[in-house]
Amino acid sequence: MPRIPADEILIAGQWRRGRGTPIHTVDPADGSVLTTVHAASAEDVDEAAHAAAAAAAAPEWRDLAPHDRARVLYRIGDAIEEHADELSALQTADTGKTLGETRALALSAAGTFRYTAAALETGEDALTPSRGPYLTMSTHEPIGVVAAINPWNSPIASDAQKAAPALAGGNAVLLKPAEWTPLVSLAFGRLVHRALADAGLPTALLAVLPGRGRVVGDAIARHPLVGRIGFTGGTDTGRAIARVAADKLVPASLELGGKSPTIVREDADLEQALAGVMYGIFSSSGQSCIAGSRLFVHASLHDAFLTELVRRVRGLRVGPGTSPETQVAPLVHHAHRDGVAAAVERARAEGGRVLCGGAAPQGERYAKGAYYLPTVIDSLPNSARACQEEIFGPVLVAQPYADEDDLVARANDSVYGLACGIWTRDARAAWRLGRRIEAGTVWINTYKQFSVSTPFGGVKDSGLGIEKGRDLIRAYQRQKSLYWGTDTTPLPWAN
Residue whose C-alpha is closest to residue 452's, from 81, 108, 181, 164: 108
Q: How far apart are CA 344 and CA 286, in angstroms?
A: 14
Q: Is 96 left (phi over 0), alpha (psi -120 to 50) or beta?
A: left
Contacts of residue 140, defined as CB under 8 A and 6 or more positions apart, other chains included, come to 125, 169, 474, 477, 478, 479, 480
* Count of C-beta atoms within a 10 Å radius of residue 127: 10
Q: How far apart are CA 334 and CA 360, in angstroms?
A: 11
Contact between residue 436 and residue 456 where contact means Cβ atoms under 8 Å apart: no
Q: How far apart are CA 129 and CA 302, in angstroms?
A: 58
Q: How far apart are CA 303 and CA 229, in angstroms?
A: 46
Provide the CA 216 distance to its chain's centre, in angstroms. Answer: 19
Residue whose C-alpha is closest to residue 369's, from 327, 331, 315: 331
Candidates 255, 390, 438, 467; catalytic one: 255
3-class secondary-structure state, position 50: helix
Q: DSSP character for 467?
A: B
18, amino acid identity: G
389 is catalytic: no
Rg (CA), the chain: 24
* Count of C-beta atoms within a 10 Å radius of residue 470: 18
* Count of C-beta atoms within a 10 Å radius of residue 487: 9
Contact between residue 377 and residue 351 where contact means Cβ atoms under 8 Å apart: no
Question: Which positions are catalytic?
Answer: 255
